[in-house]
Amino acid sequence: MVKKIKQKPTEKKEILNDNNSYTAKDIYVLEGLDPVRKRPGMYIGSTGVDGLHHLIWEVVDNSIDEAMAGFAKNILIEILAENEVAITDDGRGIPVDTHEKTKKSALEIVLTTLHAGGKFGGKSYKVAGGLHGVGVSVVNALSEHLQAEICREGALYQQEYSRGKAITKLKKVGKSNQEGTKIIFKPDPEIFKDIKFDTKKILDHLRQQAYLTPGTTIRFKDYREGTKLSSYTFHFESGIIALIRYLARDYKRLTRNVFYVSQEKENILVEVALAYIDDNESTEASFANNIYTPEGGMHLTGFRSALTRSLNDYAKEQEIFKNGNGSFAGEDTREGLIAVISVKLQEPQFEGQTKAKLGNPEVRTAVEQIVSESFKEFLEINKEDAKRIIEKSLLSAKAREAAKKARENILRKGILEGTTLPGKLADCISRRAEESELFIVEGDSAGGSAKTGRDRNTQAILPLRGKILNIEKSRFDRMMSSEEIKSLIVALGTAISEDFNLNKLRYHKVVIMTDADSDGAHIRTLLLTLFFRYFRPIIDHGYLYIAQPPLYRIQKGKEVHYAYNEAEKQEVLDKIQGKTKEKETSKSKVRKLKLVSESKEESILAVEEPMPESKTDELAELKGISIQRYKGLGEMNPDQLWETTMDPAQRVLKLVTIENAENADRLFDILMGKEVLPRKKFIQAYAQKVQNLDV
């Protein structure tokens, strides 16, 4: 995302009425699905990309619920022309008979009423993801048009809706020898300003659901105009064991076997799979009734407790710790871990409709007991895997202690010696973080230009010498021994790891400013890796930026232009040459018109006659034009660096964002990690798509 920094206009408060009255007439009662259209974000999270795709998830969830209940085996998701989506399953079909209380069909109630469905009584569904009964009704409310087709008891029924209201009556339109539900909906452009479905986003979600619903076939087809027909099928008999193998596909496995357990306790089905890889990071994916819980919850807490306790008990039994003293911390046992925790229960307690976290305390107990018993047995049977897990945990524990000492040393040094800021930092005068900027600059030469050209009131400069340590290949203790990284930590003011405190960040704009060449790109990637792994909240809160220095300085007389890439350079040259040719053509036009004034036809031909070509076309075209290619920021004068890259009124900054943390995590592992083969495959796959490669 490229963002020009501009001052936001002051917002004005709207005055509701003149006399500040507050009576019964000021109370509005929203009926039916009006609350959804009034506040869509409360039900789908947002009206942006995530909210748009949430419509698909809600309908798919209903089909998945049918599959989990044992009534559906096939689910089809189709993206049709004109932003329509069709989702079909071969389940029982939504009931169409008349509801005794409302005198409307059950289908119409489900599609037009919040908190209405077959998931509350506990008879139709033992477990379900669509707990709140708002899913498909919310989709209906936020759709310009929705059509429901139901196959039940040998008949095909159909009814149409618009923005949450039925526009046709339920009617029997034919016979059918199948059963199931088909929902076709078109998102409402009044709600969603940018309606563009992301194929990859949809496939990732469907693949995940197929892993969690073993034996179910999920198909996807894309019929949109202008796109090549896409067709994908997901079917996994081994369920989350296959998911573990998928998540570990780019890494070297430490454990030969995948631990797996599936047991029920107190009406809670617990399913857990895990393996260890040769990596410093961990991946824990938790689900409740097939719904991904990115913030974890009680099931994840119970799993972590069981894992740590089991490994500590095993280590003590094997006399791993000297003199019987010592133990693993939770983070020690999770280094290199890939785990999937899936629970299914009748009454899940989610936090909000987006279901980011599971809150049932009884789930923690069930998961903890089942995993503790089963994982202990796994360790006793698989001695070689147990040995590798213990060795990995021991190494992690030693690194943690070393890192703790190094971290404490930095903090202690800063406090006791009074050198809270590194000497190489040219700090700004302002102490207000919201207006202060830190430029992380490549090299002393560029640092010198930046220090001279900056606005000293609000802009601080921290030059780095050479390429910083690749933290993806290094443990935390080694990272903390790097002088460049220590300088950056102290300059930011946030500390690091468990001591990190975003409120102490000294600058609300942290700008990575490196050369516009391959070395500069590498340094930028190393810094991005560091921020992603250890200063993630800085990215999440929109405080990290990338500067855009120009590649070329182009001058014609007193007129100076800057170009940031090859395309802009050519555009500037065409503009300058166009002006030159225009002037020369204008002069020759007058002369030629005078010479052939007797014939209008000849006059026109004379005006359009091309200028004589020089033998050295390129030199002739660039005559009087000076082109300077900057090899680095250090070649720019302070005033040039200020004008092009640092001046808030003219500069262009790229805001660093993370749309998909899981994919970003994997990409950093591939590009910056220890394993060479995944990186080689990535380069081979994407090399031809690289433009303007600076070798």
List the beta strands (DSSP E) in 1-84: 2-3, 74-79
Lowest mean pLDDT among 39-48, 67-76, 452-461: 39-48
pLDDT reported for residue 29: 40
User: Is pLDDT above 50 for 555?
Assistant: yes
pLDDT reported for residue 170: 95
Average pLDDT estimate for 209-227? 91
pLDDT reported for residue 499: 81
Give CA–CA dist 201/543, Å, rounded.
Answer: 26
pLDDT reported for residue 603: 28
- The mean pLDDT of the chain is 81
* Sign of the four-CA dihedral 40, 43, 44, 46: positive
Nearest residue to 593 via CA among 584, 602, 583: 602
Helix/strand/coil (H/E/C) assignment for every residue in 345-381? CCCCCECCCCCCCECCHHHHHHHHHHHHHHHHHHHHH
Give CA–CA dist 609/626, Å, rounded.
Answer: 28
pLDDT reported for residue 675: 61
- For a pLDDT cut of 90, what percent of the chain falls above it? 49
pLDDT reported for residue 683: 58
- DSSP at 472: T
For residue 645, how many C-alpha atoms fall within 13 Å in the half-sphere facing its CB? Answer: 35
Q: How does pLDDT run across 611-627, given as a tens digit for each residue?
A: 333 333 343 346 778 88
Split at pLDDT 50, 70, 90, the class of 339 is: very high
Amino acid at 213: T
pLDDT reported for residue 661: 54
User: Is pLDDT above 90 for 463?
Assistant: yes
- In sequence order, the β-bridge partners of residue 512 are 440, 546
Domains of the chain, start order: 34-234 (3.30.565.10), 246-400 (3.30.230.10), 421-549+656-689 (3.40.50.670)
Are residues 369 and 152 in contact, defined by beta-carbon separation less than 8 angstroms? no
pLDDT reported for residue 446: 86
- The full DSSP string for 178-203 is S-EEEEEEEE-TTT-SS----HHHHH
User: Is pLDDT above 90 for 694?
Assistant: no
Average pLDDT estimate for 654-667? 70
Q: How does pLDDT run across 116-136, given as a tens digit for each residue?
A: 555 444 445 555 554 333 579
Q: How does pLDDT run across 242-281, given as a tens digit for each residue?
A: 999 999 988 899 999 999 999 999 999 999 999 999 988 8
pLDDT reported for residue 352: 58
pLDDT reported for residue 664: 57
- Which residues are known catalytic residues? 442, 515, 517, 519
User: Is pLDDT above 50 for 22?
Assistant: no
pLDDT reported for residue 139: 95
Give CA–CA dist 262/360, Å, rounded.
Answer: 19
Split at pLDDT 50, 70, 90, the class of 8 is: very low
Total-model pTM: 0.68
Split at pLDDT 50, 70, 90, the class of 322 is: confident
- In sequence order, the β-bridge partners of residue 2 are 654
User: Is pLDDT above 90 for 374?
Assistant: yes
3-state secondary structure of 560: strand
